[in-house]
Amino acid sequence: MISQTLTLPNGRTLKNRIVKSAMSEALADDHNNPSQGQIDLFRRWSAGGAAMLITGNTPVDRWHLEHAGNFVLDPLSDLDQVARLTEAAKCGGAIVLAQLAHAGRQTPQAVNPMPTSISTEEMDLAGYGTPQQATNADLEAVVEKFSRSAQLAQEAGFDGVQIHGAHGYLLSSALSPRINTRHDQWGGPLENRARLLLSVVRAVRMAVNPEFIVVVKLNSSDFQKGGFSHEESVLVAQMLEAEGVDFIEISGGTFETPTAYQHASQKESTKAREGYFLEYAKAIKAAISIPLMVTGGFRSAEVMNGALERAETDLIGMGRPFIIDPEFPTKLLSGALEMAPAVERGFPPASELPRGAVLNWFCEQLSLLGRMGDTNLELSVEDGHERYLAFIQAATGALLSARTETGLQRPGS
Ligand SMILES: Cc1cc2nc3c(=O)[nH]c(=O)nc-3n(C[C@H](O)[C@H](O)[C@H](O)COP(=O)(O)O)c2cc1C
């Protein structure tokens, strides 16, 4: 099953069912353009056999990055350099999407101390600035920026874009009644909370060619009291289908409730923990007729094939295995491997580790893979975590210096 092709509603065909889901590479240069290491990494992933590669967070606005090292798609971008990235990413026959994002209140404080958000609701975590409630004009500008970035993505050779509507970033926070406390046309009933995401999808669809792929990453739930619920997720999926998206990727959680990257400790039944959003995807799958991609925890070919055979999903999204072995899809597809790498299973349970340690360990490995060409799997979870925190600080310092050198000023500051 994982070897079968899939044709999307817009006529583009994926050569198999394995997709590299978005992983923030944080490998851009100080001006937020792709680095050579990032380009080389995408070349390697493309040759590795996946049908589709989705870039990590690619902000539409350089004042709302998720990480100082994001590569940005805006009028200041070096499109020739971005085109080198898309060319490399397509060399092995993969279809390549840019994940367009606006970090909203999840923008690191050092990047922007006063990020635009859907409301003034502050993060429950340290390191984030004071959210400024967007005006009507701000939200219209956000829609415009997504559509502008999609056009730039098309110009630079991407096959499509994924609009990031998950994980607590701006579009996701707008869906959440907990964060979106507005009483105007952008808040209140679901129809209003979904307006920003749907307006972005509509504007992007209108700005690009019909064969350009437009997809959305959506939370199956925020897994947060008073947040975007599973029942609402099913309804939004139907709204997205009506807007003509080519497929929906299902994930879950926010920075405050990081359920997207779970790891099964050895004590638990690992098979049961594979594809941990499948259970939630069922109701979504039943409600729509466009393809669905589920991401989170898939590792064994058996579980992937089972989910495809039972039509619980159409595409298998994976992240972490691509860091450990960029060439694993070819091996899994040929049967040479029965399982994608699952090194996280050897880690202690999350409850015994510092917050974010496992994710930061993977981020550090991804960074090493891009900058040095190889990972260092000998690194302990704690050391990887610490090194990545230091790397974030260094990258942020370099970004701020570059901004000062070029005289780049935050609008309104
Ligand atoms: C290092 C790392 C960076 C990630 N960055 C992003 C990102 O930029 N955008 C996104 O939507 N998800 C991001 N994710 C989540 C992955 O897309 C995926 O949903 C998650 O890792 C679960 O899949 P897996 O179990 O196959 O790793 C990231 C995950 C990891 C491990």
The tens digit of pLDDT for each residue in 330-363 reads 999 999 999 999 999 999 888 899 999 999 999 9
The answer to whether residues 246 and 10 touch, using CB atoms and an 8 Å cutoff, is yes
Helix (H, G, I), strand (E, B) or coil at 154: helix
pLDDT more than 90, % of the chain: 93
Q: Give the pLDDT score at 268.
A: 56
Q: Among residues 112, 220, 108, 234, which one has the least CA distance to residue 172?
A: 220
Instruction: Using most ligand atoms within 8 A of CB, pick from 2, 17, 19, 23 the residue to mutate for ligand 1.
Output: 23
pLDDT of 208 over the 80 cut:
yes
Where are the chain's structural domains?
A: 6-345
pLDDT in tens, 285-327: 999 999 999 999 999 999 999 999 999 999 999 999 999 999 9
| Residue count of the chain | 413
Taking the CB of residue 78, how many other CB atoms lie within 10 A of it? 15
Q: Give the pLDDT score at 164.
A: 98
CATH topology of domain 6-345: TIM Barrel (3.20.20)
Q: Is residue 102 exposed (0-12), middle (13-18) or buried (19+ Cβ within 10 Å)?
A: buried
Pairing state between β 13-14 and 18-20: unpaired
CB 263 less than 6 A from any atom of ligand 1: no
Q: Give the pLDDT score at 350.
A: 85
Helix (H, G, I), strand (E, B) or coil at 85: helix
Q: Among residues 195, 193, 190, 203, which one has the least CA distance to residue 173?
A: 193
Give the largest Cα separation in the chain, rounded. 56
State the Cα–Cα distance between residues 407 and 413, nearest whole angstrom: 13
Ligand 1 geometric centre to CA of 356 (Å):
13
